[in-house]
Structure 1
Amino acid sequence: MGDSEEQLRKVFQTFDTSGDGTISKSELGKAIAQCEKTPPDQKLIDALFNAIDKDGKGSIDFNEFVEFILSLPPPVEAVRAAFQEMDTDGSGYLEKGELKKLLEKAGATKVSDQQMEQICKEIGGEDGKVSFEEFCSLMAQL
C-alpha cells in the first residue's frame, strides 16, 4: 500500500479526534458534519457506522476504515483518467488492441484475437469500440 496507506492513516487520525486508535459514532458524525452544509441525519450516521463497523464492537478500527474506503467506487475523474490513458490513439474509444493491453496488465495473458473480438462486441456493441460510458458500465459490474 505504501503512500496510500499513509494518506489513509492521516485521514483516519483526523476522524479519530480522541486519539484512541478507533473512530466512535460521535467522531464519525462530527467528521460528516464538517463535510456537509446541513447537519447530518442521525439515522444516516447510524447506518453508515454499522456498515463500517464489521465486527460490531461499537468502534471503527483502522482496518475497517481502510476496507470501507477501498469498497467505495472511484471518482469519475479517476475513471476518466484511466480511460484516457488506455485510449492511446485519442479516438475517444477503446479498440481491440487497447483493451487487450488492459487485460494483459490485469494478468490475462492468453487472450486470443477471437476472444478479444467477442469481448469487444459484448462491451462495445456491434462496432466493437468501447466508449467511456460503456467502460463505466463495465467497471460498475466488476
Structure 2
Amino acid sequence: MEFDEEEWRRKFDNYDMNKDGVISGEEITRLMQYVGFNPTKADEEDFLQRLGKSKCKEEEIITFEEFFELVKTLPDPSGELYVAFKCFDKDDSGYIDKEELKEILTSGYMDPNDIDEIFALVDDDKNGKIEFKEFITLFK
C-alpha cells in the first residue's frame, strides 16, 4: 500500500476536531474507528503506548508526524478491509459466522469443505465467529 503523506494529512485534519494541529487523547477513539477498529479502553491504551504516550489519554496529544508513522504499521490503514468485512457481516453483528461466510463464498463456486478449513484457520479463539482482527489475518 502506498502512503501518500498529503492524503493522510487530510485524514488527520478531519479528526482534529478543534483544529489545533494535534489529535487529543479524546479524539483517539474516533481515529481508531476510522481505521477499522472498535476500540476497547485497552486498545486505546495500546495505541497510546505504541506512540510512546502515557495511558491517560485525556492528557496526551498526537502530532501528524506521530500519526503518520503509526498508520504505516496498521494492518488496514485505509479501511478497505473493514468495508469488505462489513459486507460479509450480513447481520451487522460485528463478526462473521460460518453461515455468512458459506453464503458468500459458495456463491462463487467454492467447495464448502474449503470454507470449513478457512474458517478453522482464521477463527483463532475458536468461538465460532470471525472478528475483524481475525479477518485481516487472511490478507497479511
Normalised by the length of structure 1, the TM-score is 0.41
Higher RCO (CA < 8 A, seq sep 6+): 2
Higher strand share: 2
Normalised by the length of structure 2, the TM-score is 0.42
Higher helix share: 1
Bigger-Rg structure (1/2): 1
